[in-house]
């Protein structure tokens, strides 16, 4: 099967490319490199021993994108490309809507034109908005609490409408919970630019001495220890979820929606203490005010993915921390 991977040099895309190549899929990858490094292409080739075509292309460049469809015949598209920083999306909504929505529309227009009718899309648990109860199942109400979330929700709706207009399409919408961890080799991981916003890269940068201490955003939530609870999932488990969606849903018309999470929630302090065990040092932290827009807890009911895709996250918290730490220690400055 020949697959086009958009955003394939990014964090989740690159780990998915490895799993695809290792299972014999033929890949074409494109990325604008706005939030990733071209070095990832060689790292993925070297880890897998497999070759693939890479295009440096922005999905807003309709002609550049069309050239990729002219050059290759695809069976399916796995669509990761997009901007993902929540805070930045609040400051620059037009940039986010333009990039994520217009870029996706360019892609879908070409999929229609070149008759590629299978797509797997990177959605997010953010589409559940301000959830009131956990665990979260796929039929929970949807809402957006920031422009980034707005783009995910709109793209989901565009894909649903696409299927209504042409019911030969197979659309898989994967709603990720909180991906962390890295490839076991330590050569590939999350490569945030500047000071990280997300918990795990922040913790590992404190542990390695690049940042002074972790700010724990609030300790009075109604959770086990008062800190926020999330469903952290190993990026390789997440990557394998895409393989399952391709295996089970390619050529099966419909809109197939799955939560990809472990179903287990861990608090900020539980993550911090597990990382302390792994890196064998104290990680300084201070409790500060809650971050605007954060919810107390968020974890998945992942039973639909198990039932219909035969997929379940296998890697536990200790391994997620070990792999994140190995990546951080081997690449103190990321790939730059």
**Which one of ligand NAD, ligand UD1, none is in contact with 32 (Cβ closer than 5 to 8 A by kind)?**
ligand NAD
Subset of 109-128 contacting ligand UD1 (CB under 6 A): 124-126
Binding mask 136-165 for ligand UD1 (x = CB under 6 A): -------------x----------------
Strand, helix or coil for residue 93:
helix
Total of chain residues touching ligand UD1, rule CB under 6 A? 20
Q: Which residues pair with 34 in a beta bridge?
A: none
Residue 41 interacting with ligand UD1 (CB under 6 A): no
Residues 308 and 248: their CA atoms lie apart, in Å, by: 8
Q: CB-based burial of residue 333 (10 Å sphere; 0-12 exposed, 13-18 middle, 19+ buried)?
A: exposed
**What residues between 251 and 270 interact with ligand NAD by CB under 6 A?**
none
148 is catalytic: yes
| Cα gap 37→59, rounded to integer Å | 17
Among the listed ranges 51-59, 210-218, 257-265, 322-330, the one in contact with ligand UD1 (CB under 6 A) is: 210-218
Q: What distance in Å separates the CA atoms of residue 214 and residue 68, rounded to the nearest whole number? A: 43
Answer for the pair 206, 212: CB distance below 8 angstroms, yes or no: yes
Q: How many CB atoms lie within 10 A of CB 5?
A: 28
**Per CB under 6 A, which of residues 61..80 are in contact with ligand NAD?**
80
- Minimal CB distance residue for ligand UD1: 228
Indicate the helix (H) or strand (E) that contains 160. helix 147-165
Short-list 184, 185, 182, 217, CA closest to 198: 217
User: Cβ–Cβ contacts within 10 Å for residue 46, how many?
Assistant: 11
Q: 135 preceded by cis ω (within 30°)?
A: yes
For the chain, state the CA radius of gyration.
19
- Pattern of binders to ligand NAD over 18-47, x per CB under 6 A? -------------xxxxxx-----------
198 counts as binding ligand UD1 under rule CB under 6 A: yes
Q: Which residue, 106 or 122, has its beta carbon nearer to ligand UD1?
A: 122
The Cα 176–Cα 335 span in angstroms is 25
321 is a site residue for ligand UD1 (CB under 6 A): no
Taking CB under 6 A as the criterion, which residues in 99-118 touch ligand NAD? 99, 103
Footprint of ligand NAD (CB under 6 A): 7, 9-13, 31-36, 58-60, 80-84, 99, 103, 122, 124, 176, 178-179
Q: Which residues here bind ligand UD1, judged by CB under 6 A?
A: 86, 124-126, 149, 178, 197-199, 202, 214-217, 228, 230, 268, 291, 293-294
Q: Which residues have a catalytic role annotated? A: 148
């Amino acid at each position: 099967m020949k697959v086009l991977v958009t955003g394939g040099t990014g964090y989740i895309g690159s780990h998915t490319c490895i799993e695809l190549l290792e299972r014999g899929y033929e890949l074409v990858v494109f990325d604008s490199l706005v939030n990733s490094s071209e070095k990832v292409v060689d790292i993925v080739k070297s880890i897998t021993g497999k070759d693939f075509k890479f295009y440096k292309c922005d999905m807003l460049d309709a002609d550049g994108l069309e050239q990729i469809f002219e050059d290759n015949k695809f069976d399916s598209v796995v669509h990761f490309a997009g901007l993902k920083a929540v805070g930045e999306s609040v400051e620059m909504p037009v940039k986010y809507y333009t990039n994520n929505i217009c870029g996706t529309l360019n892609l879908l227009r070409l999929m229609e034109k070149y008759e590629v009718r299978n797509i797997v899309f990177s959605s997010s648990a953010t589409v559940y908005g301000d959830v009131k109860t956990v665990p979260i199942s796929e039929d929970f109400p949807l809402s957006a609490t920031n422009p980034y979330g707005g783009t995910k929700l709109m793209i989901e709706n565009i894909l649903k409408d696409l299927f209504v207009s042409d019911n030969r399409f197979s659309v898989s919408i994967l709603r990720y919970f909180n991906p962390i961890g890295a490839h076991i080799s330590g050569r590939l991981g999350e490569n945030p630019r500047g000071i990280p916003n997300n918990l795990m890269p922040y913790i590992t940068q404190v542990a390695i001495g690049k940042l002074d201490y972790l700010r724990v955003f609030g300790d009075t939530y109604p959770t086990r220890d008062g800190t926020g609870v999330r469903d952290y999932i190993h990026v390789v488990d997440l990557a394998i979820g895409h393989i399952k969606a391709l295996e089970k849903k390619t050529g099966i018309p419909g809109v197939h929606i799955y939560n990809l999470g472990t179903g287990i929630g861990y608090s900020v302090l539980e993550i911090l203490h597990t990382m302390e065990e792994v890196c064998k040092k104290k990680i300084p932290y201070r409790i500060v005010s809650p971050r605007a827009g954060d919810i107390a807890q968020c974890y998945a009911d992942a039973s639909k993915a198990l039932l219909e895709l035969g997929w379940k996250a296998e890697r536990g918290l200790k391994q997620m921390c070990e792999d994140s730490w190995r990546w951080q220690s081997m690449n103190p400055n990321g790939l730059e």
